[in-house]
């Protein structure tokens, strides 16, 4: 089979592992930088070029689209999808996972427990926000549209204020989540093709702003409970991802999902678990190329929610009342 990995560089560790795993299974694997792909559309057909040369066909595509090139990169992924090339993660699902607040809304609406979460344009009412999520420690994400995000764990209000001081005037959106460090486990689950294939417990470095909690964290292999496994698989399916890292807090046996990622880092997790996770992704690619059904995304099943204090809040409208 001919497999294409969309990635900024073949030297990126996770990309390199996918190439190694694909070639070890006898496939021809190429790496294309999405920014060097050109698209010609004329209303009748679409042609893809790479460095202005017509792109040779491929049997399947594994997207590894960096946050910094989401808009263009996802357009390239979408074009392969429109050409009916099997994709390991469709553009819509990747985009949905990167809209952190929207994905949390989706998970919550379908009954998946999430940490208490607040979103604000700035941190003017920082202490009140901390109280809303149960006090420190807290998990903080700085968002700028869907392009950039940082994550940090802050163990005191003072450390949080110090960390945010330099960015408060930059117009970032702020998402703050409950982070129960003392009694909970920070768990990352790799889900491939709807099945949880590996899990690690993470011990992040406190007070550090980074693009991933894995950076500087110590990873330990973890045996998933049935509840953790079911929640991780449901979260990935809801977001629509074939390959996903589902990050959750397990607080006294209750898994709470706080993020779903579409391009998880592989080498660190492989080292911690001793598993060939890149090989599992290649195997799923083979299955999709062979006609296996993709991960399905159920239709939203959201009940109307009335704002507190409104007449009729907390009970459904009477039959025949119109409701609209």
Q: Which CATH number fits domain 116-178: 3.40.50.300, 3.40.30.10, 3.30.1490.20, 3.40.50.720?
A: 3.30.1490.20
CA distance 137 to 233: 27
**CATH of span 2-96:** 3.40.50.20
- What tens digit of pLDDT does each residue of 186-225 get? 899 999 999 999 999 987 555 444 434 455 568 999 999 9
Highest mean pLDDT among 163-167, 189-193, 257-261: 189-193
Q: Which phi and psi angles does 19 have, rounded to 5°?
A: -65, -45
Contact between 60 and 1 under an 8 Å Cβ cutoff? The reply is yes
**CATH 3.30.1490.20 residue spans of the chain:** 116-178
- pLDDT grade for 300, boundaries at 50, 70 and 90: very low
Give the residues across from 210 on adjacent strands. 151
Taking residues 158-184, report their average pLDDT.
70
Where do the CATH 3.40.50.20 domains begin and end in the chain?
Answer: 2-96
Of the candidates 220, 162, 142, 157, which has an alpha carbon nearest to the alpha carbon of residue 188?
Answer: 220
pLDDT of res. 301: 44
Q: Which residue has the higher pLDDT, 211 or 21?
A: 21
Q: Residue 40 has what pLDDT?
A: 96
Locate 15 and state its tokens.
Answer: 């990309």
Provide the pLDDT for residue 168. 60
State how far the Cα of 258 lies from the Cα of 115, in Å rounded to an integer.
Answer: 6
3-state SS, 121-154, equals CCCCCHHHHHHHCCCCCEEEEEEECCCEEEEEEE
Beta-bridge mates of residue 39: 48
Number of H helices, E strands in the chain: 9, 15
Q: What is the CA radius of gyration of the chain?
A: 21
Q: What is the mean pLDDT of the chain?
A: 84
Average pLDDT value for residue range 112-118: 92
Mean pLDDT of all residues in 176-195: 85
Instruction: Report the pLDDT value the prediction gives residue 302, as an integer from 0 to 100.
Output: 46
Q: What six digits make up the tokens of 11?
A: 């030297």
Above 50 in pLDDT, residue 4?
yes
Residue 277 predicted with pLDDT over 80: yes
What is the average per-residue pLDDT within 80-104?
A: 93
Q: How confident is the model at residue 296 (pLDDT cuts 50, 70, 90)?
A: confident
Provide the token pair at 59: 């049997």
How many percent of the chain have pLDDT more than 70? 77
Look up tokens 């980074």; give the residue.
210
The per-residue pLDDT for 324 is 41
- The CA-based dihedral angle spanning residues 130, 132, 137, 143, taken in that order and rounded to the nearest 10 degrees: -70
CA distances to 89, 117, 254, 284, 294 from 5, rounded to whole Å, are 12, 35, 36, 14, 18
Helix H or strand E segment including 157: helix 157-164
Q: Please state the pTM of the whole predicted model.
A: 0.83
Lowest mean pLDDT among 38-42, 98-102, 147-151: 147-151
Q: Which long-range contacts (CB under 8 A, 24 or more apart) does 222-227 make?
A: 222/185, 222/187, 223/199, 224/187, 224/189, 224/196, 224/199, 225/250, 225/253, 227/253, 227/254, 227/255
Higher-confidence residue: 206 or 91?
91
Residue 270's H or E segment, with its range, is: helix 267-273
**CA of 313: how far to CAs of 116, 316, 317, in Å?**
22, 8, 9
Half-sphere exposure of 145 (CA within 13 A, CB side): 6
């Amino acid at each position: 089979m001919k497999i294409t990995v969309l990635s900024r560089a073949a030297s990126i560790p996770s990309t390199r592992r996918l190439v190694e795993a694909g070639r070890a299974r006898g496939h021809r694997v190429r790496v294309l930088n999405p920014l060097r792909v050109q698209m010609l559309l004329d209303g009748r057909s679409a042609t893809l070029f790479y460095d202005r040369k017509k792109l040779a066909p491929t049997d399947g595509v594994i997207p590894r689209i960096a946050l910094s090139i989401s808009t263009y990169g996802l357009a390239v992924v979408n074009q392969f999808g429109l050409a009916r090339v099997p994709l390991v993660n469709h553009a819509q699902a990747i985009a949905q996972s990167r809209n952190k607040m929207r994905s949390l809304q989706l998970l919550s609406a379908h009954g998946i427990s999430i940490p208490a979460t607040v979103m604000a344009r700035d941190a003017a009412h920082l202490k009140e926000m901390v109280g809303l999520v149960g006090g420190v420690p807290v998990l903080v994400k700085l968002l700028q549209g869907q392009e950039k995000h940082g994550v940090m764990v802050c163990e005191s209000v003072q450390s949080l204020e110090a960390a945010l001081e330099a960015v408060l005037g930059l117009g970032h959106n702020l998402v703050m989540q409950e982070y129960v460090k003392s009694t909970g486990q920070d768990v990352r689950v790799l889900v491939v093709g709807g099945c949880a294939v590996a899990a690690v417990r993470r011990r992040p470095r406190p007070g550090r702003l980074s693009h991933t909690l894995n950076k500087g964290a110590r990873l330990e292999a973890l045996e998933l409970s049935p509840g953790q496994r079911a929640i991780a698989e449901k979260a990935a399916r809801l977001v629509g991802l074939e390959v996903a890292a589902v990050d959750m807090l397990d607080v006294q046996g209750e898994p709470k999902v706080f993020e779903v990622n579409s391009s998880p880092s592989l080498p660190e997790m492989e080292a911690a678990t001793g598993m060939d996770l890149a090989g599992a992704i290649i195997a799923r690619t083979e299955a999709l190329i062979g006609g296996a059904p993709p991960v399905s995304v159920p239709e939203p099943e959201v009940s109307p929610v009335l704002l507190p204090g409104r007449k009729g809040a907390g009970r459904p409208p009477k039959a025949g009342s119109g409701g609209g």
